[in-house]
Amino acid sequence: MNQFSNLTNSVAMKKSLMWLPVSQWGLGYQKRWLRGDLVAGITVAMMLIPQAMSYALLAGLPPIIGLYASIVPLIIYAIFGTSRQLAVGPVAMVALLVASGVGAIAEPGSQQFVFLAITLAMMVGVIQLAMGVFRLGFLTNFMSHPVISGFTSAAAIIIGLSQLKHVLGVDLPRTENAGYLLWLAAEQLLNSHWPSLIIGVSGIGLLVLLKRVSPLIPGPMVAVVLSTLLVYWFGLDQQGVKIVGDVPPGLPTFSVPDFNYSQLSALFPIALTISFVGFMESIAVAKKIAAEKKYELDANMELVGLGLANIFGAFFKAMPVTGGFSRTAVNNNAGANTGLAAIITAVLIALALMFFTPLFFFIPKAILGSIIMVAVYGLIDWQEVKHLWQVKKEDLILLLLTFFATLTLGVMNGIIAGIAVSMIWFVVKTTRPHYAILGKLPESNDYRNVHRYATEEFANLLIIRFDAQFYYGNVSFLKETLKKYEQQKGPELSAIVIDASSINQLDSSADTALHELLDSYQTRQIQLHFANVKGPVRDVMKKSGFWQRLGADHFHFNVHQAVMSARSPSAASASISVS
C-alpha cells in the first residue's frame, strides 16, 4: 500500500512539474549528456568572466556587477527558459543601452547609477514577464529586421569606439555621436599611453587569431591571463596602465531595489527598449539552434524565462541580461545539451567570486576594451546590406536610415527614429498599394499582369486587381487609379472587372466609396463586376446593401467568368451568388 502511495505521489509530482521547462530535460536527464554540459559550462564560464566585467565597464558599472549578473540570472533562466543552449548574461548591446539610459539621469560609476541600473533590470524583467504571460511576443514584430540590423550595426560601431579610451589609454568624453568620438580619438592619438595601446592592440590580434584557430578556445580568458601576468610582472600599473583594482569577494546578498516613481518614469523608455532589443537578440539565436537540434522553442515562455532571470537578478544586484550571440554559439559548439551547462557556468563564477577575486586586481582595462571591440565586430551585419541590395532596396534604405540615425543621434533616438520611419513606410505602402492591370493569357482562361506577361487586352473592358485591404487610408488612391485607367480607355469603356482575390478586409469608408463608384458607373452606363470576393468582404457588402444594389449576378468565382459576363450580358448565367 505504501509503495502504491509513493508511486502515486511521484506521478502527481511529475505532473505538477511538467509546466516547468526544466522538467523537459531535468526529469529524464541522461548520463551521456553530462560530458557535453560539463565541457560547455566550463568553457562558457572562462569566456563569461572577462566578458561580464567588460560589459559592466561598458555600462558604466563596477566590474563586480557584471559578475553578479552571471550567477542567479543563469540559474533562473535554466529553470524557466525553453532553449537548452542559450547563454544568458550581460551583453554589449544591453550594456550600451544601460549606459545611454541611466547615464542621462545619474553619473556613470556613481552609487546612484548602480542603484538605477539594478532597478532597470527589475523593470526589464517585469515588462518581459508581462509580455510572456499575456502572450504579447508578437509586439516585437513592430521592430522590422532592417531596423534591428541597422540599429545593431551602428550600436556595435558606437560600442567599439567607446572602448578607444581604454585601448589608447587616454581620457575621452562619453558621447554616442560616433563621428565626434572618432574625431576626438584621432586628436588624442599622439598622446596615447603606449603600454596600454600595446596591450589593447595585442589583445585584439590575439583574440582574432585564437577565434580563427578554434571558436572553442576561451580567447577572452587567455588574453586576460596573459595581460594580467604582464602587468603584474613588469609593474605596468605603476607606469600608468589602468587596472580593474579591488573586486569585492563573496556572493551577492539579497536586497530589494529602491524604487522611486520619478525615476521609474524616466527609466521606462529605456526599459522598454532593452526588453524588446534584448528579446530580439536572444530569440534570434535561440530559434536557430533549436531548429538545428530539432526541439520546440516557445517564444512566450522565453519572455517569461528572461523576465524572471532579470527580476531575480535585480534582487541580487545584477544588471539587465539577455541571451548573447557569441557565448551561445560557443556553448552549443562545446556540446551543451541542456540547461545544466548554464547552471555549471553560474556555479563556477560563484566559486570565482568566493575564492579568486584577488586574481582580478591586475587585469588591465585595455584588454577588457579589446575583448568588447572584438565581440561587437560580429554584430555589424555586412551580409544583410548585401542581401537587401540584391533583393529589396526599399528595405536597405530603411536599414541605412536607422544606421545613420543611431550613429549621429545616439542609441535611443536612433532606434526610435528607425521604428518611426518603419511605421511611416508601412502606412505609405498600405495607402498606395500595389495593383495590376490584367489581361488574358493566350490559349488560356487565366489572367495576369499586362506588364509582366504577353496578354490579350480588351478595348472596352478594364480588368484590375488591388493587392491590399480596402480601407479608409487607400480609398482615394484606389478611386484615382480607377479614374486614371478609365480615362485611358476612353469612351469605348463599357465594363470594369475588379479582381478582389487580394482584398482581405473592407471597412465602412471603403464600402461607402464602392457605393459612390456604383452611382457614377450606373450614370455613365458602365458595368461593374467583381471576381474572387472573399467571405469577410462579401459579408460587409451584404450588410451595407452594396451586394443587393449591384446584383448577385455581378459577382463571380473567377476573373474569366466575370469577363465573359461583362462582354456578353446574356452569359450572366455563368455567374453565381456566392464565392
Domains annotated on the chain, with CATH: 35-423 (no CATH), 435-574 (3.30.750.24)
pLDDT in tens, 336-357: 999 999 999 999 999 999 999 9
Q: Half-sphere exposure (CA, 13 Å, Cβ side) for 414? A: 32
User: Does 33 score more than 60 pLDDT?
Assistant: yes
Q: How far is the C-alpha of 480 from the C-alpha of 496, rounded, in Å?
A: 14
Burial category of 573 from C-beta neighbours within 10 Å (exposed 0-12, middle 13-18, buried 19 and up): exposed
* Amino acid making up residue 144: S
Q: What is the pLDDT of residue 361?
A: 95
Q: Do 316 and 252 contact (CB within 8 A), yes or no?
A: yes
Q: How far is the C-alpha of 128 from the C-alpha of 361, rounded, in Å?
A: 36
Report, as an integer, the average pLDDT of 97-119: 92
Report, as an integer, the average pLDDT of 550-564: 93
Q: What is the pLDDT of residue 6?
A: 52
Query: What does residue 171 show for φ and ψ, rounded to 5 degrees?
Result: -90, 120
Q: What is the pLDDT of residue 151?
A: 87
pLDDT in tens, 474-502: 999 999 999 999 999 888 899 999 999 99
Model confidence band, residue 532 (pLDDT cutoffs 50, 70, 90): very high
Q: What is the pLDDT of residue 425?
A: 85
Q: What is the pLDDT of residue 231?
A: 95
User: Does 19 score more than 70 pLDDT?
Assistant: no
Report, as an integer, the average pLDDT of 125-152: 86
* Amino acid making up residue 439: G
Q: How far is the C-alpha of 579 from the C-alpha of 576, rounded, in Å?
A: 7
Mean pLDDT score of the chain: 89
Burial category of 55 from C-beta neighbours within 10 Å (exposed 0-12, middle 13-18, buried 19 and up): buried
CB atoms within 10 A of CB 490: 9
Specify the length of the chain in residues. 579
pLDDT in tens, 390-415: 988 888 999 999 999 999 888 888 88
Grid cell, residue 429, equals: 505602402
Name the least confident of 59-68, 122-131, 177-186: 177-186
Model confidence band, residue 577 (pLDDT cutoffs 50, 70, 90): very low
pLDDT in tens, 37-61: 999 999 999 999 999 999 999 999 9
Model confidence band, residue 16 (pLDDT cutoffs 50, 70, 90): very low
Percentage of residues in the chain having pLDDT higher than 70? 94
User: Does 536 score more than 70 pLDDT?
Assistant: yes
What DSSP string runs through 328-374?
HHHHHHTT--STHHHHHHHHHHHHHHHH-GGGGTT-BHHHHHHHHHH
Q: How far is the C-alpha of 405 from the C-alpha of 424, rounded, in Å?
A: 16
Helix, strand, coil percent values for the chain (each to nearest 5): 65, 5, 25
User: Does 575 score more than 50 pLDDT?
Assistant: no
Q: What is the pLDDT of residue 234?
A: 93
Q: What is the pLDDT of residue 268?
A: 94
Q: Give the residue from 544, 480, 532, 534 showing the smallest Cα distance to 507.
A: 544
Grid cell, residue 82, equals: 525553453
Report, as an integer, the average pLDDT of 193-222: 92
CB atoms within 10 A of CB 291: 11
Q: Give the residue from 311, 439, 339, 337 showing the smallest Cα distance to 79.
A: 339
Q: How far is the C-alpha of 90 from the C-alpha of 100, rounded, in Å?
A: 15
Q: Do 317 and 252 contact (CB within 8 A), yes or no?
A: yes
What DSSP string runs through 127-196?
HHHHHHHTT-GGGGGGS-HHHHHHHHHHHHHHHHHHTHHHHHT--------HHHHHHHHHHTGGG--HHH
Q: Give the residue from 47, 14, 49 showing the smallest Cα distance to 28.
A: 14
3-state SS, residue 466: strand
Query: What does residue 529 show for φ and ψ, rounded to 5 degrees?
Result: -125, 150
Q: Give the residue from 373, 366, 376 showing the smallest Cα distance to 192.
A: 366
Grid cell, residue 329, equals: 554559439
Q: How far is the C-alpha of 573 from the C-alpha of 420, rounded, in Å?
A: 51
Report, as an integer, the average pLDDT of 243-263: 88
Name the least confident of 197-201, 312-316, 566-570, 574-578: 574-578
Q: What is the pLDDT of residue 18?
A: 54
Q: What is the pLDDT of residue 14?
A: 47
* CB neighbour burial string for 81-108, b if at least 16 within 10 angstroms, e if fewer: bbbbbbbbbbbbbbbbbbbbbbbeebeb
